Amino acid sequence: MEKKEHFEYEDSQRLKHEVDLTPEDFQFTQKDVHISDAKFQSKPTTFFKDALKRFSKNKSSVVGAIILGILVILAFILPVSLPSDIKSEHPYEVKLLPKINEAGTGWWDGCQTKTHITYDTINNLPADFEARSVVEGSIVKTKEGENFTDAVNKYAYGGSIRISIAAESTKSGEFGTPVYGYNLANDYQLTYTTVNPDASFFDVGTKYGELGEYAVQFRYKDDNGDVQHINIKDYSKDIGTYTVDLTPALINAGLPNTTVFKKSQKPSIVFVLKPNADNAENLLISSASMASSSTDEAETMKAMSFNDANASLLQSDKTKLNWGVYGGQTNLYRANIIYCDFRWDSYADRLGIQKRALSNTNINTYISNGWMSWDFDTFLNSAHADTDKAALISSFKILNDERCPLRSIDTVSFTGDASKYILEVNGDVSIYRWLGYSKMPKYLFGTDASGKDIVNLTFAGLRTSLLLGIITSAVCFIFGLFWGAISGYFGGWADILMERFTEILGGLPWIVVMTICILKFGSNFVTFALALCLTGWMGTSSITRTQFYRYKDREYIFAARTLGASDFRLIFRHILPNAVGTIITSTVLMIPSTIFSEATISYLGLGLQGLSSLGVTLSDNQIYISTLPHLIMFPSAVMSLIMISFNLFGNGLRDAFNPSLKGEE
């Protein structure tokens, strides 16, 4: 009979169970199978490999690291590869707009829409703009008669001359106060029988305010020096066009049919207004035309005429137009002016074809380079007559269209002889070719007020800022790490004394420390780094001290100390590796903090001297934020990108170097 073992037990529900076991229940089921330990499926790794694996799982940190790497590479490559020199000014390339496409495409083409610009009706261009800078077909004008101006303007036309009595005027009487007139510049002879009956007319325009009572007079000084007034048109308040005849007025005054008025008698035709108590009278004159049937008098009469009120007030040559104000006030009223919108090409304006002079050196260089041909030797051996100059100009030919700056010749001036001469050629010069470009340059984000490429300037500044941040962070990290480790590990009086020193130094605002250093040692790279290091290490020190207080009393530290580990080994072998994640994160974030601090101090006018940096670039261009925002936007975008990338990268490093996460998937 088989031997059985009987067992009784209770389960979790306190139910009793009975089990009978026999030897057969303990037989091997795989007697013929070889069983051994299985090989580990995972590969051995190191701390840094494991950290890299954890870092790669954080997608945002990886993206930040990639962007950061690209920016760092560009910061060191672009400044030396781009042709634009950021150390010198380029006066012909100032304030160029961002450009990728050709002008006229309407998007990122180096052009800008100009709105409400006065239109020059004579040259059919926007006022004060050259034809080269206006994109063809982009001008949109307002309609004639839509806009008016009361300010004298060389681009306005028409309107009326508004005449009013001066506020301080108190003169009154039968003949009123003269306010506008024409002085005859020379001795003037009037032969009454030859004066055209329609000798003069004037047009009183639309009523403006309170129209005053006015008259037209012929005035002169008699032999006794007294001013004589002869009314050609009597006083009225009528609006309209009037024709007046000088002949009957002079005859009625008792003057001989042929009278010579000398210049000393100041003969003049005058518009006058009668003042009243409140001096509110006005007179609008749209035009005044004088005519005579006498050939001798026709030119004089013509000179006294004007058909454009704006042009009359604008005229500065009084020998041609001698109208002036006498005892009153004269203004323009409702002159027509046309405005327009158009696309302005900054590149064609700055670097296009312009009139300029070239010297011997320029011309000889272009000829020797094979860019142009010019029969100058024949001219040197000729008699230098004007006909020779004309032949010389016509002999000019462009041989290399891409490289030759001189496009055409207007005039040539020459001094000296064939052995020693000075040559000056005036004509159309392609400025971008003259500067050495074979084609019109394009700047991705334009140029600043000194003509420096914004992309080049920004990344050169980023390089300086990165170097400043990395060097400063490295110094602060090393010093802060040792300071915080000693303070946190030993504690006691050492910790108290070190913390009090840190608190005193930390009580000084960093900007004050920075300013003192700059004023003492100058605004240079070393001074900036020194000033940032004086107080920058305290953040790393504080974090390190906190981490050492957190880990120094852990069991594994007691065990290591019991086994005889030295303080140095405990600090750098057991405590620091556990705290390194948080410390590294703070150190990485110190770099963008340094860049931001440098930018802040640059805004106060204490930026780096002789070096470009992001802060200096932003400080120099802040005045253009409303007119040329791209000068601020691109450097600001790079600064923001570098800040965000460092934050993402730092967060990834914190998780990667956290020992508590070691081995986690």
Residue range(s) defining the domain that contains residue 248: 160-335
pLDDT of residue 71: 92
Confidence tier at 172 by pLDDT (50, 70, 90): very low
In the predicted structure, residue 318 carries a pLDDT above the cut 70: no
Q: How confident is the model at residue 382 (pLDDT cuts 50, 70, 90)?
A: low
487 lies in the same domain as 632: yes
Residue 154 located in a structural domain = no
User: How far apart are alpha carbons 293 and 247 in whole angstroms?
Assistant: 12
623 has pLDDT over 70: yes
d(CA 93, CA 306): 45
Main-chain phi, psi angles of 291, to 5 degrees? -145, 155
- The answer to whether 239 and 202 have CB atoms below 8 angstroms apart is no
Cα–Cα distances (Å) from 5 to 8, 16, 235, 248, in that order, read 10, 17, 149, 161
461 and 592 co-located in one domain: yes
Residue in this structure with the two tokens 């003192």, named with its chain if needed: 516
Of 434, 467, 500, which residue is a domain's last?
A: 434
Q: Indicate whether 442 belongs to any domain.
A: no
CA distances from 331 to 161, 199, 282, 317, 604 (A): 6, 26, 10, 18, 47
- Same domain? 164 vs 141: no
pLDDT in tens, 570-580: 888 888 877 77
Is the C-alpha dihedral spanning 561, 566, 572, 576 positive or negative? positive
Query: Are residues 257 and 191 in contact, defined by beta-carbon separation less than 8 angstroms?
Result: yes
Place of tokens 């303080």: 567
Q: Could you tell me the pLDDT band of residue 354, with boundaries at 50, 70 and 90?
A: very high
Q: How many domains, in total, are found in the chain?
A: 4
Please say if the pLDDT value at position 117 is more than 80: yes
What tokens were used for 314?
């604008």
CA angle 411, 414, 416 (to 5 degrees): 180
Cα torsion 642, 647, 649, 655 to 10°: value is: 180
The type of residue at 69 is: G
Contact (CB, 8 A) for 459 and 79: yes
Picking from 631, 104, 629, 96, the residue whose alpha carbon sits closest to that of residue 343 is 104
Region of residue 554 (phi > 0: left; psi between -120 and 50: alpha; otherwise: beta): beta
State mean pLDDT over 427-453: 91
Residues 185 and 295 in one domain: yes
Q: Is the dihedral of CA 166, 170, 172, 175 positive or negative?
A: negative
Among 434, 467, 495, the domain-final residue is 434
Does a structural domain hold residue 15?
no
Residue 76 inside a domain? The answer is no
DSSP sequence for 113-177: EEEEEEEETTTTEETT--GGGBPTT--EEPPTTS-EESS--TT-B--EEEEEE-TT----STT-E
- Given a cut of 90, whether residue 553 has pLDDT beyond it is no
Predicted local distance difference test score (pLDDT) of residue 350 = 93
If DSSP states are collapsed to H, E and C, what string results for 474-529? Answer: HHHHHHHHHHHHHHHHHCHHHHHHHHHHHHHHHCCCHHHHHHHHHHHHCCCHHHHH
The answer on 318 and 187 residing in a single domain is: yes
Using an 8 Å Cβ cutoff, are 409 and 427 in contact?
yes
- If asked whether residues 560 and 484 sit together in one domain, one would say yes
Alpha carbon of residue 533 to chain centroid: 35
Locate all alpha helices (DSSP H) within 352-453, ordered by sequence: 360-368, 376-380, 386-394, 431-434
**End-of-domain residue from the set 384, 403, 434:** 434
pLDDT tens digit sequence for 28-82: 776 777 777 777 666 766 767 777 888 888 888 899 899 999 999 999 898 888 8
Give the pLDDT mean for 178-200.
Answer: 62
Same domain? For 532 and 607 the reply is: yes
Residue 207 lies in a domain: yes
**In terms of pLDDT, which residue wins out, 573 or 350?**
350
Q: How far apart are CA 225 and CA 222, in angstroms?
A: 5
In angstroms, the CA 605 to CA 607 distance is: 6
* CATH number, position 489: 1.10.3720.10
409 in the same domain as 282: no
CA distance 325 to 316: 14
When comparing pLDDT for 45 and 211, which is higher?
211
Task: Count CB neighbours of 259 within 10 A.
Answer: 15
pTM recorded for the entire structure:
0.73
- 387 plus 489 within the same structural domain: no
Give the residue ranges of DSSP H helices in 604-629. Answer: 614-621
115 assigned to some structural domain: yes
| Residue 171 backbone phi and psi in degrees, to 5 | -70, 135
Torsion of CA 43, 47, 49, 53, to 10 degrees: 100
Q: Are residues 300 and 388 in the same domain?
A: no
Residue 6 backbone dihedrals phi, psi, to 5 degrees? -110, 130
How large is the angle between the packed helices 576-603 and 454-490, nearest 10 degrees? 140
Are residues 301 and 173 part of one domain? Answer: yes
Query: Which pLDDT band, with edges at 50, 70 and 90, does 278 fall under?
Result: low
Q: What is the pLDDT of residue 171?
A: 47
Pair 143, 166 in one domain: no
The span from the CA of 223 to the CA of 221, in Å, is 7
Q: Does residue 619 fall inside a structural domain?
A: yes
Identify whether 68 is part of a domain.
Answer: no
Token pair recorded at residue 319: 């020998």
